[in-house]
């Protein structure tokens, strides 16, 4: 009997005593470690940033490393708290694999769009470092899944998740009007990708539909070759196609 291969599991250490999934714990620890090291080594921070000019020059690792370094301790604490709160809820609804894949799509997609925009728009070449675009995107995705959930801003202002997401988007628009749209292109792109994924408009669904259509056509082609075999001879003679 063939034995099933054991599935690899991350150590329980990364769950922080069972408070978060292990994959979320790994991402939190990686963010904290890289941020602290980057504060002591500014060259490392510059090497991990989303810099379209450097990506176009071949430094492709920047497409996924930019959210892991926060600019200051307050930013690190706030991003960690948001991720601690949002990630388990989204992971519970999507499943661990889909959550990690969508997180990658948001990060990579925002970086790719910003990099391609830099080919013809100089303002998009502004380097970016930090997880705020990704956190805003996760907040939009969570709000779309739980639009009527109640959230207390600073513990005093109760709003629904839908209102909070609209406030985040509106605040991003205000900052973009103040500082320019170029530096906030990763924010808008990440939120747009999160919206598309939550609405089922992502490439995964399109690929799934194409795969179903291909299977249906293949089955139809196979059925076209089948023919009905008629009996020959007397009624007592068995069909010639039988063994």
User: 66-75, 191-200, 203-212, 215-224: which range is least confident on average?
Assistant: 203-212
**Tokens coding 238:** 């068995």
Q: Where are the domains of the chain?
A: 12-204
Domain 12-204 has CATH 3.40.640.10: no
pLDDT digits (tens, 9 = 90+) for 47-93: 999 999 999 999 999 999 999 999 999 999 999 999 998 998 898 88
pLDDT tops 80 at residue 238: no
Residue 61 zone, left/alpha/beta (φ > 0; ψ -120 to 50; rest): alpha
pLDDT tops 90 at residue 107: yes
Distance CA 23, CA 21 (A): 6
Distance CA 142, CA 14 (A): 23
Q: How confident is the model at residue 207 (pLDDT cuts 50, 70, 90)?
A: very low
pLDDT digits (tens, 9 = 90+) for 167-190: 999 999 999 999 999 999 999 999
Which whole number is the average pLDDT over 95-114? 94
Cβ neighbour number for residue 96 with a 10 Å cutoff: 13
Q: How confident is the model at residue 230 (pLDDT cuts 50, 70, 90)?
A: low
**Tokens coding 14:** 């990364």
Percent of the chain topping pLDDT 70 = 77
Distance CA 83, CA 19 (A): 13
**Tokens coding 16:** 């922080």
What stretches of 68-184 show up as alpha helix (H) in DSSP?
73-94, 96-117, 132-145, 161-179
Which whole number is the average pLDDT over 138-150? 91
Q: Are 118 and 53 in contact (CB under 8 A)?
A: yes
Half-sphere exposure of 179 (CA within 13 A, CB side): 11
Closest CA to 51 of 165, 127, 155: 127
Distance CA 148, CA 41 (A): 44
pTM given for the model: 0.77
User: 15-19, 99-103, 176-180: which range is least confident on average?
Assistant: 15-19
CB-based contacts of 90, cutoff 8 Å, min separation 6? 99, 138, 141, 142, 145
Q: Are 22 and 11 in contact (CB under 8 A)?
A: yes
């Amino acid at each position: 009997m063939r034995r099933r291969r054991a599935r690899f599991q991350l150590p329980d250490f990364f769950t922080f005593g069972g408070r978060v999934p292990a994959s979320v714990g790994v991402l939190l620890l990686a963010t904290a470690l890289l941020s602290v090291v980057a504060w002591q080594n500014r060259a490392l921070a510059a090497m991990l940033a989303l810099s379209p000019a450097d990506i176009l020059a071949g430094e492709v690792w920047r497409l996924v490393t930019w959210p892991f370094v926060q600019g200051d301790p307050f930013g690190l604490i706030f991003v960690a708290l948001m991720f601690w709160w949002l990630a388990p809820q989204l992971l519970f609804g999507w499943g661990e694999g889909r959550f990690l894949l969508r997180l990658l799509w948001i990060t990579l997609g925002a970086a790719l769009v910003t990099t391609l925009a830099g080919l013809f728009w100089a303002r998009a070449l502004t380097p970016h470092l930090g997880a705020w675009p990704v956190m805003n995107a996760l907040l939009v995705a969570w709000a779309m899944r739980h639009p009527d959930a109640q959230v207390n801003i600073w513990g005093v202002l109760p709003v629904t998740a839908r209102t909070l997401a609209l406030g985040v988007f509106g605040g991003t628009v205000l900052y973009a009007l103040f500082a320019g749209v170029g530096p906030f292109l990763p924010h808008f792109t990440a939120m747009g990708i999160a919206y598309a994924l939550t609405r089922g408009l992502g490439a995964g669904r399109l690929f799934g539909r194409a795969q179903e259509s291909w299977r249906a056509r293949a089955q139809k082609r196979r059925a076209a070759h089948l023919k009905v075999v008629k009996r020959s001879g007397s009624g007592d003679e068995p069909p010639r196609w039988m063994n």
